[in-house]
């Protein structure tokens, strides 16, 4: 006599039309835009995200508004920038690549000796063909980023320099989408939106978040989901400072970043380290049988730094592939549209969805026949089909769920303690409920 599993539960599937190419197309559309922490690039980007996510709300917060210990900076916009040689040729040209200008550079115009220009140049001697990405958000600086080969070729005594930018009172913009579920308790999904032409960091995170939202719009969900697309650090701080009520409803959260490069998954735990989202991510990654690493929280990285600051201590982890600074293309012009692959983006979306599905399904049950084991055979839970591939695991799953469903242990607890896949534990619970052996708490 063998105990066999019922057919796989109908887990929500991606709508058939979603392909990795579709995610990559969104990355392609966003890639040319020169974004920063404020300015028209962020507005343009939010406009495109709004095409994918009707209902996306864009908020604008004026320069000078405080957010905890920070202040919304002047708005930065740039039209053009170059370094010209004596012949009038652009030897460094913002029009060719927006990484060429240090983000938030103050305007500058004039002739500079080669020597005077030197402290304003940034290049990577170890990667002589790549343009680095640099910012000077909170300092009055200007500068150019260029390949090291370009820098070595600057041998004339002087150059004409122009950065046609403005730093003026304006606004910081961020986008937000709330998908209301059965409960007002919320899951926060956050991705930074402030990098210029860099594909993995973080257009990949934006694309995965957008398509996760589109998926959730099409399936019933227990939690309400709040998607926040905000410039790094200051954007998250501004959002936190203006949304105290929503912050109080956050039960789980994920920062999505660096999800388009084919490295192993990396999950960075929340500050709490044992939050449900930390445990759900670990189980989802284990079940997927993919190379992955789980790292403890450190107060550095993306906006989990703000969400996990001690005053909030929100249960927000960060899902990425290879972490920042650990791949040679990081923050360089090599983080381009070829570096981010459609199939990787799709895998990242599916993994994010798998974490969400664990959170959605996790709950506590109570065994309605807790005095001894209920007789499973009499109820038709045993089937004579010659031993399914996961027959033994399936029997164990039923027994674990019955044993630990005392109203105190959640399905996450049971999956962890049994070592069985969460999805199997979930199916066992569903079946036991349908046989009136178990009731949701």
CB of 133 to Zn ion, least distance (A): 7
Q: Which is nearer to Zn ion, 267 or 324 (CB)?
A: 324
CB of 127 to Zn ion, least distance (A): 16
Q: Which is nearer to Zn ion, 186 or 335 (CB)?
A: 335
Count of CB atoms within 10 A of residue 203's CB?
Answer: 31
Q: Which is nearer to Zn ion, 186 or 201 (CB)?
A: 201
CB of 195 to Zn ion, least distance (A): 5
Q: Which is nearer to Zn ion, 318 or 398 (CB)?
A: 318
Q: Which is nearer to Zn ion, 103 or 353 (CB)?
A: 103
CB of 201 to Zn ion, least distance (A): 4
CB of 60 to Zn ion, least distance (A): 23
Q: Which is nearer to Zn ion, 201 or 360 (CB)?
A: 201
Q: Which is nearer to Zn ion, 305 or 364 (CB)?
A: 305
What residues make contact with Zn ion under the rule CB under 5 A? 201
CB of 307 to Zn ion, least distance (A): 17
Residue number with the smallest Cβ distance to Zn ion: 201
CB of 316 to Zn ion, least distance (A): 18
């Amino acid at each position: 006599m063998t105990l066999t599993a019922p057919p796989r539960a109908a887990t929500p599937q991606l709508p058939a039309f979603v392909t990795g190419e579709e995610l990559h197309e969104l990355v392609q559309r966003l890639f040319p835009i020169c974004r920063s922490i404020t300015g028209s690039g962020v507005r343009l980007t939010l406009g495109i995200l709004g095409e994918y996510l009707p209902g996306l709300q864009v908020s604008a917060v004026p320069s000078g508004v405080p957010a905890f210990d920070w202040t919304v900076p002047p708005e930065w916009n740039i039209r053009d920038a170059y370094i010209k040689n004596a012949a009038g040729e652009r030897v460094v040209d913002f029009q060719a690549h927006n990484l060429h200008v240090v983000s938030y550079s103050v305007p500058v115009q004039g002739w500079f000796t080669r020597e005077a220009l030197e402290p304003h140049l940034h290049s990577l001697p170890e990667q002589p063909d790549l343009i680095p990405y640099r910012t000077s958000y909170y300092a009055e600086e200007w500068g150019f980023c260029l390949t090291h080969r370009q820098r070595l070729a600057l041998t004339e005594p002087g150059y004409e320099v122009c950065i046609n930018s403005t730093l003026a009172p304006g606004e910081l913009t961020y986008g937000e989408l709330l998908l209301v579920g059965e409960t007002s308790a919320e899951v926060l999904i956050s991705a930074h939106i402030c990098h210029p032409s860099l594909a993995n960091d973080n257009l990949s995170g934006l694309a995965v978040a957008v398509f996760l939202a589109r998926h959730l719009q099409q399936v019933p969900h227990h939690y309400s989901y709040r998607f926040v697309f905000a410039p790094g650090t200051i954007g998250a701080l501004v959002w936190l400072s203006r949304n105290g009520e929503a912050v109080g409803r956050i039960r789980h959260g994920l920062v999505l970043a660096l999800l388009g490069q084919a490295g192993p998954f990396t999950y960075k735990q929340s500050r709490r380290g044992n939050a449900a989202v930390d445990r759900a991510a670990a189980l989802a990654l284990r079940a997927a049988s993919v190379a992955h690493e789980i790292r403890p929280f450190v107060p550095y990285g993306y906006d989990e730094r703000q969400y996990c600051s001690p005053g909030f201590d929100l249960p927000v982890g960060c899902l990425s592939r290879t972490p920042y600074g650990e791949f040679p293309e990081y923050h360089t012009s090599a983080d381009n549209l070829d570096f981010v692959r459609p199939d990787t983006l799709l895998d990242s979306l599916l993994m994010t969805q798998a974490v969400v599905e664990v959170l959605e399904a996790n709950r506590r049950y109570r065994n309605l026949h807790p005095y001894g084991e209920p007789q499973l055979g009499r109820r038709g839970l045993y089937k004579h089909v010659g031993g399914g591939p996961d027959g033994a695991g399936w029997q164990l799953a039923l027994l674990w769920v019955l044993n630990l469903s005392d109203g105190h242990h959640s399905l996450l607890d049971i999956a962890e303690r049994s070592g069985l896949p969460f999805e199997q534990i979930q199916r066992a619970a569903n079946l036991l409920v349908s046989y009136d052996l178990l009731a949701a708490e």
